[in-house]
Structure 1
Amino acid sequence: MINDDTIVALATPSGAGAIAIIRLSGKDAITMADSAFRSVKSDKSLLTQKTHTIHLGHIIDNKRTIDEVLVSVFKNPNSYTGENVVEISCHGSNYIQQEIIQLFIRKGCRTASPGEFTLRAFLNGKLDLSQAEAVADLISSDNEASHQIAMQQMRGGFSSEIAKLREELLNFASLIELELDFAEEDVEFADRGQFKDLTERITFVLKRLIDSFAVGNVIKNGIPVAIVGEPNVGKSTLLNALLNEERAIVSEIAGTTRDTIEDEISIGGIGFRFIDTAGIRETTDVVESIGIKKTFEKIDQAQVVVFLADSSNFKETSFLKSFKIEIEKIKNKYPLKPLLIVANKVDKLDEKQVDIVKAEIENIHLLSAKTGTGVEALKDKLLSFVNTGALRNNDTIVTNTRHYDSLLKAFEEIGKVKEGLEIGLSGDLMAIDIRQALYYFGEITGEITNDDLLGNIFANFCIGK
């Protein structure tokens, strides 16, 4: 997988724009760039320039000028990839971009594969594997929380915790392996008491990291919230109020929404994906029936359910009773999902009626999607379902499924080591479990890897990164 050729790719998004950046990396990157570069003020060569300098000039193909550009030079090992790197800032015309890229391909460059610049940074020791993966997370982050987690991981917060545990475990593993060389003398180099303390500490840290995935996963992917209820209770109006735009069609005709409508907003730095569903009711309309079926599918997929009712109906005692029954049905069907009971159109009630509704239904939230009353308070309630304590404390939060799987496997192996210590298992048998735990730690940071794993990880990157 290690290549010493020079690669080229567009580092900015494809398409026309004001500026585009074309990146070259490899041992001949500066030489190739110099062969096509002519300085504006002098005949200076890029080969003789200091690292981390920028130069104004033209990209020339034979005698034809393609564009006036700024060329940034980064010499190894002080570059993103650890190799010679050149970044050409040109005008953002599609034609100019392709002309420059094709010029360097003719000069011997190869088009970069997805994530190949970051892969080279990893292979050259500029980043460990979890930091490299954080680069992709940072690019795709679309809210404050996911950005914060990706930045912490890219700076090595997660890696340093894992590396420290692995180093301590490796020290004890070395002592136990040493004991095997002196098996006939029956000596112990590894203090079993200290080793037990270490396994307890490792177990504690691993448990915390594993538990953090529940929060990290929803922060990274957004929290799906299903807005459900009978037709014409204001589900689409509420969605529009939450998004602060006319996203869903609103009318007085019951059953207007016949398919699910989804959109995302950020609340308190956390991404929430709201799903406006078809109203739940008995119907003979085939299309509406399909929409209602989809509603229950979306409730299955959602992590939070907002059950909406028309508060003007609460004036009838019979409705209150049936509404309570519906609440219990949803709670029984989805016992593990947070359920937020919301009464809409509160602007149609007087104070006495509001008090009756609050007394009858525990923890009900009153709002008017039409006027906006209570909408911000609803957002605060939704945010309360997310445990943001670890985020506020800047704790390490796991968001990557691959890391989560490796942590679970390491946790299992450390559990075996602890059990072995308690029953006085021989060093040679304990060494097997310790090696396995070290293997899973190494998988996370990339001390242990293979071409297939790297191929899978970096295939998800954009070409220019």
Structure 2
Amino acid sequence: MIPQETIVALATPSGAGAIAVIRLSGKDAIAIASQVFQSVSGKDISQQKSHTIHLGHIVEPSTSSGQAGKVYDQVLLSIFKGPNSYTGENVVEISCHGSTFIQQQIIQLLLRKGARMAQAGEFTLRSFLNGKMDLSQAEAVADLIASDNEAAHQIAMQQMRGGFSNEIAKLREELLNFASLIELELDFAEEDVEFADRTQFHDLLERIEFVLKRLIDSFAVGNVIKNGIPVAIVGEPNVGKSTLLNALLNEERAIVSDIAGTTRDTIEDELVIHGVGFRFIDTAGIRETKDVVESIGIQKTFEKIEQAQVVLYLVDGLQLTANGQLDSFINEIGKIQNQYPQKSLIVIINKKDLIPAETLQAINNRLSTFEEELATANRKLFTIFISAKQKTGIEELKNMLLSFVNTGALRNNETIVTNTRHYDSLLKALEEIQKVKWGLDSGLPSDLMAIDIRSALHYFGEITGEVTNDELLGNIFANFCIGK
């Protein structure tokens, strides 16, 4: 049931600023606003056209004794009449000065005139309930507000414009047409007729399966773009991990010292590379130690490696020039590869500027041979030479990190799934489609196939909101900010 009360909330961030926007929505929004707004031109705003802006004052109405009302502020008042508004209802937006006192006084005045405070996400919830957007588009509103890099913004905008929901709706409509024919066959079961062309139906199931798999696979990219790609910087103490973090961020974020064990806790910061967010984690150096505090830091290092998608293993290149050190280092890399086979591992040889050219070439040749050995076992290793102090090789490292993200999908404006709820529904829909496909290939009776088709349609509907319930809506919109 669509709520009928008129709601009010601050639509801009709380706190003082140049201006603030207070939003009203509901069938009585204009009527309530007209009680407290006095136009400088004497207009009655209840008689004004939609999508117009008016200059005036917010005034406490005169008392019954004839005492003049209190003037709170000079404001701009915008009118949007339903259904041509964000929520599909009558909407009034009051742009007042950003004093927190003024904001609260105006909101309290509107509450006294019959509005109630909006709940988190209630404006967007009403937009969904009034058919202004589907559920996946409504969720994209929250993603758009939370987007903090170009890639996350691009995905949220595409979803809010209906790119994802249109693709799902098209598949659902085609499947629904065939489902209707299957259901029709059940009505004429005694006559043994087929209304649904089995060959066309098989082709449709193949196409739906292909699209669902593509969307499901895109979640791996979408999830890291939305939340940022975690990158752990690890290595022995004093090899330049903190210097590397500072070079990547181009600021003195981490303390740099010649004393081993300076970094005793993880330090995290984010960097956006060509629109994609990376969360860098500078960890404590890995070594044997009796220092209790440092030991805790080292334990946290291994925890961060578990959480990271990419591991940057940093080594002091000068240490590799000693006899036997290079082979020992390669053995250590092999152990890490075995321990974390699913991680993207980049070996970074630091202090490139201090290593003689001939020695540098020898190290490179030995590592290249090791990379080839790993490649034969379908294992990948990436190696790069840098100077963290001189900031050489840093841009090359950034490009290497970016290569782990499927930016082609972004450039081609492909649909990318970022929402865990959508991902779960897609997995369930794919499972049901595969059941239908198996039933079709096995000659399963139409009534049994119809059950799986209905289940697939149900999961498609869950994504766009054609199938929903109060609990689901409550969980989704509870994560919105007040005023949106």
TM-score (norm 1): 0.99
Alpha-carbon distance between aligned partners in 2 of 1:236 and 1:243, rounded to the nearest angstrom: 11
Partner of 1:26: 26
Partner of 1:321: 327
Which residue identity lines up with residue 328 of structure 1 in the other structure? Answer: G
**Shift in Å, 1:357:** 1.9
Q: Deviations over 1:190-227 (max 9, x none)?
A: 11111111111111111111111111111111100000
Partner of 1:406: 425
Q: 1:100 and 2:99 equivalent? A: no
Of the candidates 109, 116, 122, which is equivalent to residue 116 of structure 1?
A: 122
Partner of 1:197: 203
Alpha-carbon distance between aligned partners in 2 of 1:332 and 1:184, rounded to the nearest angstrom: 62
Of the candidates 213, 217, 220, which is equivalent to residue 211 of structure 1?
A: 217
**Shift in Å, 1:43:** 1.3
Alpha-carbon distance between aligned partners in 2 of 1:356 and 1:97, rounded to the nearest angstrom: 69
Q: Deviations over 1:102-145 (max 9, x none)?
A: 11011111100000000000000000000000000000001111
* SS state at 1:251 partner: coil
**Shift in Å, 1:65:** 0.7
**Shift in Å, 1:364:** 2.4
Partner of 2:16: 16
Q: Deviations over 1:58-116 (max 9, x none)?
A: 10013111011011100000000000000001111110110011110111111000000
Alpha-carbon distance between aligned partners in 2 of 1:232 and 1:52, rounded to the nearest angstrom: 63
Partner of 2:360: 354
Q: 1:54 and 2:53 equivalent? A: yes
Matches within 5 A, 1:179-190: 179-190=185-196
Of the candidates 397, 401, 405, which is equivalent to residue 378 of structure 1?
A: 397
8 Å contact from structure 2 (residues 234, 311) kept in 1 = yes
Partner of 2:313: 307
Q: 1:434 and 2:453 equivalent? A: yes
* SS state at 1:317 partner: coil
Alpha-carbon distance between aligned partners in 2 of 1:420 and 1:354, rounded to the nearest angstrom: 62
Alpha-carbon distance between aligned partners in 2 of 1:351 and 1:69, rounded to the nearest angstrom: 70
**Shift in Å, 1:388:** 1.6
Q: Note the aligned Cα RMSD (angstroms).
A: 0.8
Q: Deviations over 1:263-303 (max 9, x none)?
A: 11111211100000000000000000000000000000000
Partner of 1:4: 4
**Shift in Å, 1:246:** 1.1
Alpha-carbon distance between aligned partners in 2 of 1:203 and 1:435, rounded to the nearest angstrom: 16
Q: Deviations over 1:326-376 (max 9, x none)?
A: 111111100111100001121212322221221122352111111111111
Query: How many equivalent pairs are there?
Result: 464
* SS state at 2:74 partner: strand
Matches within 5 A, 1:77-96: 77-96=83-102
Of the candidates 165, 174, 189, which is equivalent to residue 168 of structure 1?
A: 174
- State percent identity of aligned pairs: 75
**Shift in Å, 1:44:** 0.4
Of the candidates 253, 260, 284, which is equivalent to residue 290 of structure 2?
A: 284
8 Å contact from structure 2 (residues 137, 162) kept in 1 = yes
Partner of 2:38: 38
Gap regions ≥5 residues in structure 1: none
